[in-house]
Amino acid sequence: MTVLDIDRAGRAYGSGHLRVVALDDVSLRVSAGEFVAVMGPSGSGKSTLLRLAGGLDQPTSGRVLLAGRDLTVLDEAGLAQARRRQVGFVFQEANLLPTLTAAENVAIALELDGVRPKAAMTGARGLLESLGLGAAGGRFPAQLSGGEQQRVAIARAVAGGRPLLLADEPTGALDALTGETVMGLLRRRCETGCAVVLATHNIRHAAWADRVLFLNDGRLAGETGPPAGPECLLQTGRTR
């Protein structure tokens, strides 16, 4: 089932000789359960692509279909609704609500989905536990380190059962081992049917994906397919 269908989308700003093309004729289709990574240098269009995918911006050409709905024909209120129902976001900044504890920040994502408060809190604590933040649930964002705040933000994004998760450089402030934990978490989300699109310049993290796309100057420059499978290890064909 196709969750995200970006069809020859382009995004340009300005006009005439001041025109800047952030994205040019990019197509991407992501199915439920698929983990796609997008790599490219700064200015390559990764963030623009994610913003279009999440309905935070509209393309200047082409279409974006999210869970079958054409976002380009929606007004701002319609886009807001589509975002709320279909997409979980993780950015470089955690964007937590400062007057709620870590656990509450995660729990509201569940409550806004209709989960009852007690169950939401239990779910929230469980997620924080899996990210090594079991003891931090009762603390406020101001009392957490940058890396801890980011993990809470990730827990919040994966908490609701939304079909699409968009992550834009989520591991920038995290150490290598925590970064790996986060990638493992994204991978597991895919196994439950979520589609994940990750923008990153970290190649070790991109390698967790089923497919890696390369962007350069707003265009698709290459793509790896799914890995060959456990039977193939380098040139020797051995598995453990």
Partner 1 sequence: MHGYGLKTEFEAATGDVWPLNVGQVYTTLARLERDGMVSAETDADGQKIYQITDPGRDELARWFETPVPREVIPRQEMAIKLVFAMRSGVTDVTAVVQRQRVATVRALQDVTRLKADAEASGDTAWLLMLDALVFQAEAEARWLDMCEARLAREQVTAGLARRRAEIHHTGTRAAAADPAAVERSSE
Partner 2 sequence: MSAPIDSAEATAAGQAPRPPIIELAAVEKTYRTPGSRGVPFPALRGVDLSIAAGEMVAVTGPSGSGKTTIINLIAGIDRPTAGTVTVNGSRLDQMTEEQLAVWRGRTIGIVFQFFQLMPTLTAIENATLPLDLARRGGLRERRATASRNLATVGLADLGDRLPTELSGGEQQRVAIARAMACQPPVLLGDEPTGNLDTHLARDMLGLLKSLNGSGTTVVYVTHDLALAEMASRIVSVRDGLITGDTARRP
Tokens for 144?
């957490």
The Cα 154–Cα 178 span in angstroms is 12
Locus of tokens 């290598």 = 176
Given the complex with partner 1, which of 15 and 236 has the nearer CB atom? 236
The Cα 46–Cα 218 span in angstroms is 8
Measured in Å, how far apart are the chain's first and last C-alpha atoms?
33
Q: Site for partner 2 (CB under 8 A): which residue of 77, 177, 228, 234?
A: 77
Q: Site for partner 1 (CB under 8 A): which residue of 29, 84, 116, 204?
A: 204
CA 91 to each of CA 20, 117, 130, 192, 227: distance values in angstroms, whole numbers, following the listed order: 24, 26, 20, 22, 27
Q: Site for partner 1 (CB under 8 A): which residue of 18, 142, 177, 228?
A: 228
Q: How many CB atoms lie within 10 A of CB 167?
A: 26
Q: Mention every residue, 6+ apart, whose C-beta is less than 8 A from residue 116.
A: none
Does 206 contact partner 1 by CB under 8 A? yes
Q: Site for partner 1 (CB under 8 A): which residue of 106, 107, 108, 212?
A: 212
Site for partner 1 in 172-191 (CB under 8 A): 184, 187
Among the listed residues 63, 66, 47, 61, the one whose alpha carbon sits nearest the alpha carbon of residue 11: 61
Q: Site for partner 1 (CB under 8 A): which residue of 30, 151, 169, 214?
A: 214
Site for partner 2 in 94-123 (CB under 8 A): 95, 97-101, 104, 108, 111-112
Does 126 contact partner 2 by CB under 8 A? no
The Cα 44–Cα 159 span in angstroms is 30
Binding-site partner at residue 95 among partner 2, partner 1, none, CB < 5 to 8 Å by type: partner 2
| Residues at the site binding partner 2, with contacts judged by CB under 8 A | 54, 56, 75-77, 80, 83-84, 87, 89, 91, 95, 97-101, 104, 108, 111-112, 138, 140, 142
Residues at the interface with partner 1 (CB under 8 A): 39, 41, 184, 187, 203-204, 206-209, 212, 214, 216, 221-228, 230, 232-234, 236, 238-240
